[in-house]
Amino acid sequence: MTEAPTETRAVVVERDLPHPTRKIWRALTQSHLIEEWLMKTDFRAETGHRFRFSADWGEVECEVRAVEEERTLVYSWDAGDLRSEVIWTLTPIDTGTRLRMEQTGFRTDQPNYYGGARAGWPRFFDRLEKVLAKID
């Protein structure tokens, strides 16, 4: 039996958004807003909270690992045999907020997960921007 590769890759998406950090934080942490741009969820911004993302293709099992209000949000993202982590970082800039998402933990023998994340996260960001444009 061969061991699974230990080398991992990450997907990073970073955008400068013309919104204050508190508004983006709401869209990242309020279930009804998350549902509009990502997936259905029972998320709560509480360290240790276990939650799911649900879509027509299946579910993602997650656990909140770290919460630093309006600055950092970290949660596990486990689907099938993928064990990964999503790290959101919000940085105030002159024109609003720099939002950075990094999903880590893609093993080199998991090209489908890695490719799916590379294609999916930019689309999720596009949908997030539409949600941000319509909330106060």
- Please report, for the chain, the start and end positions of each structural domain, with discontinuous segments joined by +: 11-134
Confidence (pLDDT) at 107: 96
C-alpha to C-alpha distances, 7 to 79, 81, 84, nearest whole angstrom: 18, 15, 13
Confidence (pLDDT) at 3: 55
Confidence (pLDDT) at 1: 53
Give the pTM. 0.94
Confidence (pLDDT) at 57: 85
Q: For 11-134, which CATH superfamily applies?
A: START domain (3.30.530.20)
DSSP one-letter string for 31-84: HHHHHHHS-EE---SSTT-EEEEEETTEEEEEEEEEEETTTEEEEEEEETTEEE
Give the residues of the chain that fall short of pLDDT 70: 1-5
Confidence (pLDDT) at 2: 52
